[in-house]
Amino acid sequence: MKKKVLLAVFLFLAVFLVSETFSQTLYFCEGVDSKGYPITESQKFDIPRGGGYLYFLVRLPYAIDCYSVSYDIYEVYSDYSEDYNTTIYQDDMTPSWTWFWKKVTFYRPGYYHIYVRDCNGYNLTSAFLEIEYK
């Protein structure tokens, strides 16, 4: 019985570690360190009424192999429907990058769903973000 429990725990940890190691991730943060890790990561940010910025940090388990990416921003409503808001382009990419970031300014509070797409239009990752006024 102990062997089965140990095997189950080992398999769970192996699957968890592999999924964490090989996942594409979009972080929202106040900055990015020199090794490509988020500084003060959060899914919720407070901005002043005149607007405020944060960073979108994307980490990939492989090289991007593109010279540009796009960030499609959708507003999310209480019924979980989404309306397109805007697209922000990042054209200063190097194909060998496995992580990259973009400074983005928000002017309105709300719930947002951000999709990151590569130069071929493929969805790399997405995440939800909440913006509130201070």
Q: Minimal CA–CA distance to 93: which of 122, 63, 128?
A: 63
Q: What is the CATH number of the domain that holds 113?
A: 2.60.40.770
Residue 17 domain-assigned (yes or no) = no
pLDDT band, residue 22 (cuts 50/70/90): low
Residue 76 domain-assigned (yes or no) = yes
Residue 5 domain-assigned (yes or no) = no
- pLDDT tens string 65-92: 999 999 999 999 999 999 999 999 999 9
Domain that holds residue 66: 24-133
- pLDDT tens string 45-65: 999 999 999 999 999 999 999
Residue 120's pLDDT is what? 97
Residue 98 domain-assigned (yes or no) = yes
Residue 86 domain-assigned (yes or no) = yes
Residue 11 domain-assigned (yes or no) = no
* Total of domains in the chain: 1
Pairing of strands 110-117, 69-76: antiparallel
- Predicted TM-score of the model (pTM): 0.83
